[in-house]
Structure 1
Amino acid sequence: MSKPQVSQHQLNEQQYQGKSEAYLKSKVHAQGLEFGKMQALVQQHQYQEILDLGCGGGHVSYHLAPYAKAITAYDLSAEMVDLVVQQAQQKGFANVTGQVGVAENLSFAAQRFDLVVSRYSAHHWQNLPQALAEIHRVLRDHGRVVIFDIVGSSHPILDTFIQSIEFIRDPSHVRDYSLAEWIQMTEQAGFHAQQIERQSLTLDFQSWVQRMQSPADAVATILNLQNKVSDLVRDYYKVQKDGTFVSQAVYLELTKI
């Protein structure tokens, strides 16, 4: 009997089973300068209906809940969504609700949200242009989108390195898009970039692989790759002896046009 085929969406869901608590407690996911920017944006424009797209451990929802009327925590993983709703209730945020689904097919009416926020999620999406088209559809006229994600590089060897170790650590990884790719795809989807800000993110190696429960052979392969790369790659990512490295992230604030 042939082995059942597994779709990318199914792989994503499988990869995150049993990991919701790890992402809730992750310092990388719970902290960040971008939260202050998001809060200021919501307060400035008085956004009321917010979609936390690819909510993961729910940190965007928790940070924005005090300033909005309603937040929908949306994720492919039912386990993640359940965790976020439970945590929101414990924190006293009755305005946070959850919904399970994929980014490429948002089950919401057109122009439902004032603001869509996606943090550390887009590199898992199976079809980014389709997801951006869906975001554009559910966003109200002149609404905004905030995307915060790891970015790849336009330099081939630097890009190959980051994509390789990401995929070995987590087979549900699709792509860390370069900033140029992000700009091109968001413009094609009907968005205008209001703010673009790059950030450097130090990733403690042990926490990085433990959070995903990467198997020992995958961890060994990543360390082997890190030991064999050129000085160009090692210096750019500031690879340390224990495997800790620095990745690049981008804060994109987009307006629907």
Structure 2
Amino acid sequence: MTTQQQVNQAQYQNKSEAYLNSQVHAQGIEFEKMQNLIQQHQFKRVLDLGCGGGHVTYQIAAFTEQVIAYDITPEMVNLVTTQSQQKGFDHVIGQVGAAEQLDFPVEHFDCVISRYSAHHWQSITQAIHEIYRVLRADGKVILFDIIGNSNPILDTFIQTIETIRDPSHVRNYSLAEWVKIVEQAGFKVETIEKQSLQLNFQSWVERMQTPVESIHTIRYLQSKAADQVRQYYQIQQDGTFTSEAVYLVLSKT
């Protein structure tokens, strides 16, 4: 039986360099917000959950005493630890594991950050409860991810093309879903900030090594989409489109 976690591992083999060099992943106004929050609260021990190419780790490492770069894909973890050593961040530790089962003691981290990872998790509810468990009482969680939509027409479109591009995609949760999930786990939502994210179509599919037939299917769906969908996602002639992302800061209640 193939699990979602195995699908994730298979999808992200041989893609670590693509994510390291991805401009979408390497840039973002959210990095400065993360740095400011860490400095403001003097957080020392931080978990980069679903570290991917390691961009969160590289951005925050200078402001912490320890960063755990954690990902389900060994290749990603190896990349981040190697890059961190080259950048002089000897306090970055790599660890392989799933978000749903964090191998850390209770209240181990001052801060947990997850960026562009949650939409791959096998069980969002279990993962959020694990984050709650390993976060200290006065710690913070920062979540950043592309979000879905409460309008079924808009939501079905984005979930469909995401899955065709990347079979490891589980769900882009809507803002309402996010709030419900984290509050049920015991978190208080302190900050909600939306961002628009333009995704260059060619880079988007190349990064995931999407097969040609799947690319054609996505372009077909884009061409047949209702005006409401085309306008909302700002679909361009070359397939480039805009998604919404959300920056959340959580604390324990």
TM-score category (smaller protein): over 0.9
Which AA in structure 1 matches 2:217?
A: T
- 1:167-206 equivalence runs, <5 A: 167-206=163-202
1:148 corresponds to 2:144: yes
| Residue identity opposite 1:129 in structure 2 | T
Q: Which runs of structure 2 are paired with 1:104-253 in the superposition (5 Å)?
A: 104-253=100-249
Residue 122 of structure 2 aligns with an amino acid whose one-letter code is Q
Structure-2 separation of matches of 1:153 and 1:245: 15
Runs of 4+ in 1 over 3 A off after TM superposition: none
**Aligned residue number for residue 62 of structure 1:** 58
Q: Cα deviation per residue 1:51-106 (whole Å; 9 max; x = unaligned)?
A: 00000000000000000000000000000000000000000000101000000000
Structure 1 distance, partners of 2:125, 2:46, is: 21
- Does residue 16 of structure 2 align to residue 9 of structure 1? no
Which residue matches 1:32? 28
Q: Percent identity?
A: 62
Between the aligned partners of 1:216 and 1:256, the Cα distance in structure 2 is 45
Match of residue 92 from structure 1: 88
1:156-215 superposed Cα distances (whole Å, 9 cap, x missing partner): 000000000000000000000000000000000011011000000000000000000000
Q: Shift in Å at residue 6 of structure 1?
A: 1.3
Residue by residue, what CA displacement relative to the aligned partner does 1:219-251 show, whole Å, maximum 9, x if unpaired?
000000000000000000000010000000000
Q: Which amino acid aligns with 1:99?
A: Q
List alignment gaps of at least 5 residues for structure 1.
Answer: none
SS of residue in 2 equivalent to 1:175: coil
* Cα distance between partner residues in 2 of 1:130 and 1:237: 31
Deviation at 1:142, TM superposition (A): 1.6
Q: Partner letter of residue 24 of structure 1?
A: L
Structure-2 separation of matches of 1:167 and 1:151: 14
**Residue among 234, 252, 256 paired with 2:252:** 256
Question: In the alignment, which residue of structure 1 is the partner of 2:46?
Answer: 50
Amino acid corresponding to residue 171 of structure 1 in structure 2: P
Code of the aligned partner of 1:198 = K
Equivalences, count:
253
CA RMSD of the aligned region, Å?
0.4
TM-score normalized with structure 2 length? 1.00
Shift in Å, 1:256 = 1.3
